Structure 1
Amino acid sequence: MKKIAYILIACFIGFQTVHAQSFTPISSVDATDATSFKKALLQCQIEDDAAYSNEIFSNRSGAFLHNLKSADSWVKFKGTQSQKTEVKYYWLVFFAGEHDATEVLWRGRELVKSPYFQNHPNLPRTYKALIEALKYTEQYNEVLDLYPEFYEANIRVGSPIKYQKTSMLTGVARVYYMLKNYPKAIEQYKLAVIEFERQAEYFQKGSTLNDIALSFGHLKLRDSALAYYNLAIKNIDNADRDAYNRHLRKVIVTNKAEYLIQDGKYNEALPYFFAELESAKKMRELHIEGSDYYNLARIYFLQKNYKRALFYADSLIAFQKKFQQNSIYIKALDIKSKCLLTLGQADEANTVDKWRSYLSDSLEMKKALQSHANATAKYEAHQKDEELTKTNIKLNAETDKVWYRNIALFVLILGLLATLFFYNQLLKNRKTIAAQKAQAEDNLKEKEMLLKEIHHRVKNNMQVVSGLLDIQAYKTSNEQFDRAVKEAKQQIESMMLVHEMLYQTEKYSYVKMLEYLNRLSQQLTVDESHVTVKIVCGDIKLSLEKVTPIGLIISELVSNTIKHGLVENIGSIVIELTEKEGNNISLLYTDNGRGIDPKVNIDKLQTFGLKLIKRLCEEIGGKCQITNDDGFRFCIEFIDEK
């Protein structure tokens, strides 16, 4: 059904584009009296009728907004209730063009309940805007309730919009389809088919039969689905044989070919998808074109033709730049990752898979946030209605009592009402403060949870990288390569330890250095029993920006001591971290090894390890000093702005 929907949407958009070019520019009018008010509103009506001729709301011009604001300013003070209702409708039209679902929902609900709007010619358009906003916010059950009212509104006002019974039936069916209530969707589609048959509308009938087949497919009723696909093809063949009908026939046949894939008949299925792809390119059906790239990649992957599968997966990824289809794009990345892995390109496969995972997580988070926002908006609207009703009842009761009071007590009553008013204001303020405080606490907890998850994922990803290095080291017996891998693992583990400590604590902005240095030194010397490490550190906490470079520096220094600085393979290391005034931090690293050769000029020494240490020192804004003092001595001072 999605493919057919995409075709219909593309046709509407194409028509809208051509039609928009024929709009007559409207003029700006300043409403200063009843006559100019009518002129301003007439200009709004002209643009609205032109934009809505194909039942699609679109963005309004600057002149439209100017006229609307001008009319609104005048009607507030001098207009009748009917004129005010008219202005409210054009505000609804404006916000519908801006795709502001919240504004459309409350304005539309107010309009369809207004007694001044029940026989207005724009009542069906208001229902249309409401239905689209409800679909956007996924309030499908309310959409089902509104469709019959929408249909009746068209009949009542004699609307020129061509909205027949079949349109309502197919609209309701699509809502049930979105709700995955496929039996109810099939029931509504079948009623629409009967109407299309009566009107001899074979194209629409064939399209609806295809929707029925798709619904049966979701219910795993293969025989029924195939039967309705065949009926759909037969009806399309009976319609006019123009280019678009031929394209739709290919779409239906390709839907049917999905069962060839399920049966493992991949070679039989391929021609259908190639034919549909070429047709989609000619008809500029971008959604179908993207879907076909994915299906071709999927078929070749199932055939274990990984190079061809990779070609079409890359084609879809390139196509993504032209037209975004995130769900299919993620599937294409999954196929590409698997193909690369099978073809022995593990590093590139891992990169693609990480990107796929990130996109997938982003989509899920976006859906969750949208769902939460929709539920919150619905709940708040309901609460406001209840509060308004209660307030009105209370005010009416108080008003009745006041009229029956003795006139002599009038001043006292006024004082009481004033007291009640300020008391209510106080209660409202307290409730508002409490709600804001609760919201702030919820936001803080959510941010802490997300930050903790980020540190956990970073740590896990580093663990994966470390594991990959182990795999590569296992494949070779080169000692130099093994040493390089071991040093790289130590550097990764020093960073991994930072993130591990962060997600294990309640504070995510800083790290306790005594615990970190003890754990880091144990990791670095776990295989070096002949080396002892002494940590001298008070209750010092450093920010994440400083801890990671410091961990890498210490990792490099310990590695250098073990490789080059020990005398008779026995030695001791002292790491001392002190905090001075003004957030000044000093790190002192010493060992009792042989130190740097006195003949070597330390300032001109340009080894890779020393370059790395100096660059890390610059990163944290520190100054380092390297000397020989009964062994190797390294000192760095920097500022940690907390």
Structure 2
Amino acid sequence: MKVNSRDDFDKVNMKREQLQKQFADSNVFIISDSYLKSFMNARVWATKNGTEKEKNLADYNILFYHYNHQDSDKVISIANALLSRPNFMEMKESVRTLEALNSSYNRKGFYNRQLDVLPILIAQNEKFDYYVFQPEYSDSYEVGMIYYNLNQFSRARQNFEIQAELFKDNNRNFMYASMMNNIALTYEGEKDFNNAVEKFQEASRIVDESMDEENPYFNREYKGHFKNVIESNIASIRLKQGELAQLEPVFLKELKSSQLVGEPRITIQCYLHLSKLSMLQNDVSQALRYNDSALSLEREFKNPSIRANILSVRSSIFLMQNKVAESYDLELRSDDIKDSLISIATQRNMEEASLNYDFVKARKEIAEANLLLQEKNKIEWMQWIILGISTILIITFITLFIRTRKARKLSEEQSRKLKIAADEKELMLYEIHHRIKNNLQTVSGILDLKTSQLSNPEFTAAINESQQLIQTMNMVHDQLYEYGEDTIVDMQEHFVNICQGITSQHTDKEISLHVSSRDVVIPTRDAIPLGLILCELVTNSMKHGFNKKNTGRITVFLKKELAQYIFKYKDNGSATEKNVEDQSNSVGLNLIAMLVEELDGKMETSFQQGFKFEMKF
């Protein structure tokens, strides 16, 4: 299509939007080369006659074409150029561009570059009212996939579990099931087949529960297909273990649904599973037919790793037919592909290391460019104002000059007084801080002396618990002093400091901390009791939950919903309700109840699979 006017340009954009919707509905939809010519013509017109926005759209159309054709190198080049333009970051297309760049980095194996892109993608998606991803989406899933691709299954599982909790808390059951499937895959990667099957079965059950759940992205047909994928994952483990009964109907069911929803990679994998199954059942002709189907589809949707597996299975089939020469040739071809993949991985790492465009630097450049753009807009706006009021300024200049001199003198005097007052306040706060620390240390010392004079174990334990409470208060006080008075506290950093400060004292235990309170800030007056509550909870976990364990996991969660905060604490320790009842008269637990009341909050506790504490305030 020729582009000779703005109307022609708008038609090209409308067509791209229609194609993009088709591509979003089915990722196997490939647009023809004729559209690239139209997109190139649109860019030529925009370069000569278009606005900055139209130039950005013209480049974005070309990027979409290459993304659709999975040309990662061109996507990376065009995307980086677009994202370096400040005005493009104010367009919703920037979210799709970041998505394409992230996907292309993933296909190239540039996982460290993905870690740079992900935070910007999340921020832009939120900025444009969750244009691509739903609100409960976080970078935990993408980070988990990066570690999964690096075969670091334990770290991948940790991130999948965080994302799963977010989906579960937001009642997104289908997405929760998807994360459970990913968690199962990490166990399978570690060859822990029992845990893998257990998680796959749980994911399948959750999919059943989500069938009637409204979801604008996944219809009932796709959910049914995903259940087939999960069941096939279980069947593939059975196949590895040599349990062949009832596997063929499972694979055939997944094959049919994958063709309906348009997932060729899954279809190829089904053919490969069926080929292996038929071979193990000594049905050589059927095994070869399935293998032919897999090979034919792989030629259309190329994947070297899958192709190597197909050829390896084909080699085994030919060997069963006593075609030794052909079998040997296929095995050599499979090995060659695997060797090439290793070489490509090495080259990929070198290419990523030498990539010219530094996206971290680009973010800084984008921020600086945004400031320059704001300054430019401000200057243009001021020029129009000056043109309109220049006459008034001439008349009032002398009066303003006199008032300005008086105001400057008054301002300087006020600044001087404010500085003196601020210095005095800072000195006073410094003195108060040290007096508090000294008083706490004095009380702790007195209690220590009293301990040596007591022979009753109950009195000694009570005094020891009081000393621990004083140390907790001292630590919280030290941290909040750093923030200052009448300010807000970054709870992510505050929580991490408190947890690490307590767990680090137990050098004989390895405790995994997971704190999720990003972007949550609260006033100092509320941070003090909340910090003390967390101190007591962590101390109780170390004292009662992990007293018989050398390893453990502590999860802390805080978010704001409308006019209230939700605080959750969880450990996987062995504390029981009886332990707590036995300690019901302890200073620490009484303090927690008092602090919850001070925050005007309500709390709940649970002892299923560890200790759980939830408070709303």
**What TM-score, normalized by structure 2, do the two folds share?**
0.48
Whose relative contact order is higher, 1 or 2, with alpha carbons under 8 Å and at least 6 apart?
2
In our comparison, the structure showing a higher alpha carbon Rg is 1
**What TM-score, normalized by structure 1, do the two folds share?**
0.46
